[in-house]
Amino acid sequence: MATILVTGGAGYIGSHTVRALLDAGDSVVVVDDLSRGHREAVDPRAEFVQADAGDRERLAALLTGRPFDAVIHFAGLIAVGESMADPARYHHGNVVKSAALFDVLRAHGVTRVVFSSSAAVYGEPETVPIPEDHPLRPTSVYGETKLWVERMLAHYARAYGFRYVALRYFNAAGAHPDGTLGEAHDPETHLIPLAIGAALGTRPPLRIFGTDYPTPDGTAIRDYIHVCDLADAHLLAVRHLLAGAPGGVYNVGTGRGHSVREVLAAAELVTGRPVPAVEAPRRPGDPARLVAAPDRIRRELGWEPRYGLEDILRHAWRWHSRQGGGRSGSAGGWPGG
C-alpha cells in the first residue's frame, strides 16, 4: 500500500510498529544502528539497513532513486535521568541527528514524517488529563530535545512543505499478544518489566521512586498504553498524511492513570506472585501525574485503544516468562524504578 522508512525500527515501539505496517500491507525499510535495538526484533518481511539515522551519506545513498511515501522517526535517546547527567549526548543524538535526517529527506523530496515525541514535553502539568494545547515546559533535557525536534518539524513545514504528525507518547508498556515480541533493554528502566523481573526473581526488589507525591497513595500516576495500541496510532498517522491531511500533534494515551502501587498490585494478581519492592526518594524531573487527554487523536484519526492495564501486564508476563523469543529495545520513562 505504501513504502515506509522506519528509523529505530529495531527498538521496542519501532519493532511493534514495523509489524503493524507489514500486516497492513505496507513495504517497510528499517534503519537502525543497533546501539540499543535488537536485530532479531525486526520482522523478516522488512528490509533492514544497519546505519545511524543521522548518517547523511548512508541515508542519501538509501534514498537515491527509491521513492518513500513517508518516514516514521523513532531513533533517539530516551532516558530522563541519563539526559540530565549527559545533556550533550541528548542534544546530539536527538536534535542534531534529527536535523541531518530531515535535511536528507528534504533533498530527496520525502516530506511526510511521523515523529516519536513524548509527554515529557509538558513537564509538570497544570491540568490533568493533559490536552495538546497545554503549556510546554519540559523538566528534563530529554523532554527539551523532543520539543526542539517538534519545533524543527514545524519550521520545516512552514518553509519546505513538510507535513508531519508528532505523537506524544505517555507510557508505552506490554508486549505483542502472541508472546513473540516484547520489551527488553539494558539497562532496564521501566516499571512493568522491572516489576515482572522482581516477581520472577531475576531482578532485585523494585525501587519505588517517590512515595510522597500529592496522589491518593503517594506514588506517581502514569497513563499506561499498550505498545500495540501505540503501533496502531503510527499506522493511522501515516494513513492520515497519505490522505493529504495537514498533520498535527496528538497525545497517545488512554486518558486513565494508574499509580505505581496500583500497577504493582495488578502485577501480583496477573502473575500470582509477590512483587518485592523498596521505597526510594523521588527522581529529579518526575511529575506527580501524567495522564493524557486523547480526545483529538480519537476524533481526527479514529484511534481507540484496545487494551487495558490487565492486558498489558498479562502480555508482558507472557513475554518475560518465555525466557526467549523475539527481543527489542525500549522507549519512554516512568517514576518507579
Cell of 38: 535488537
Interior CA angle at 113 toward 108 and 115, to 5°?
135
Q: What is the DSSP string of 4-43?
A: EEEETTTSHHHHHHHHHHHHTT-EEEEEE--SSS-GGGS-
Are 115 and 164 within 8 A, CB to CB? yes
Residue with cell 516484547: 182
Q: For the packed helices 56-63 and 97-107, what is the interaxial angle rounded to 10 degrees?
A: 30
List the catalytic residues.
142
The rounded distance, in Å, linking the Cα atoms of 83 and 258 is: 25
Segment holding 115, helix H or strand E: strand 112-118
How many CB atoms neighbour CB 159 within 10 A?
Answer: 9
Cell 502473575 found at? 271
Q: 211: which residues sit within 8 A by CB, 6+ positions away? A: 218, 219, 279
- Size of the chain, expressed as the number of residues it contains: 337
Euclidean distance between CA atoms 148 and 102, whole angstroms: 13
